[in-house]
Structure 1
Amino acid sequence: MASSSDPWMRELSDASKLADEVRDMISQRSSLLPSGPQTQRHMSTARRKMTILRTKLETLQSLLSKLPSKQILSAKETNRRRDMLDKLSVQAGEMAPTLNMSMSADRDNLFGLNRKQDDMMKKANDLDNHEQDEDFAQLEETVVSTKHIALAVNEELDLQTRLLDNLDEHVDSTNSRLQVRL
């Protein structure tokens, strides 16, 4: 059995607490106005915490898969940890659509996508097949370009989140050292 000083178990505990916070924030959303700055800030914070949670889960998974074969942990303990991590990952996966749905609904309203879709359908009915093929080729290029940009932004966001987490840990460590010296 792993001790409470085990860094992997501490990280799992932190991730579990973070998942609880996100779950609470999602349930609190019903007490807020359907839209507005407070609701947007609340859900933005929940999405940020969800991103941090996903990063922690990826880190835990990576650490668990990189354990040396002669590690102190038994196969039973490794499986137990894998099960705990899988359970937490499933919980995070169940919460993610709730956060994404609220974000995409707000985005649709903000950009008026429903109106744009109707306009596009009318325009498509007026075009012949050749023109539609050209438009689809242009659309494909745009989608591929947007995908690459989104992937790059996602990688940068993951990096920035990890850097912020690392900075937060260093600030806590420095603060603890200062408290001891004072």
Structure 2
Amino acid sequence: MRIVAKFGSSPPASGPESQRHSSSIRRKITILGTRIDSLQSLLSKLPGKQPLTEKEMNRRKETLSNLRSKVNQMASKLNMSNFANRDRLLGPEIKAADAMSRTTGLDNYGIVGLQRQIMKEQDDGLEKLEETVISTKHIALAVNEELDLHTRLIDNLDQHVDVTDSRLQV
């Protein structure tokens, strides 16, 4: 039995389910940030409506500040994991000096073998990139379908408004 001690200790999941979870987390972090903004706005209007002691006002401001900090940390952690996913997908960036050092001491056959190995790595990377592009395509098609539905609904609503307007004119 394995117990995961910390968030992010388990191996990263991949695929559509992982993308849904990641999207859901982003959305919830955004909603949380918006709600904190609303609370800060309400807090600034509060002294006029309900008198608070300065100590209580400072405590509430500090609590909101701490919440904002935690939301920013979560958002940055999520963005950092995206960079890690990019590196996992595309591989770490290889500098020209590193590429040159790989060829030192190799004869012609060794260089050809190294070239084949690099081409194989690039092919693997391209296959992963293709999977990502196909996944993005499916997401774009789903968004397009959703937009078409919304456009039809808005057109239908527009027609109903026109009919109602003409009835009101009569």
Calculate the TM-score normalised by the size of structure 2: 0.42
* Structure with greater contact order relative to length (CA < 8 Å, sep ≥ 6): 1
TM-score (structure 1 length as normaliser): 0.40
Q: Which has the larger radius of gyration?
A: 2
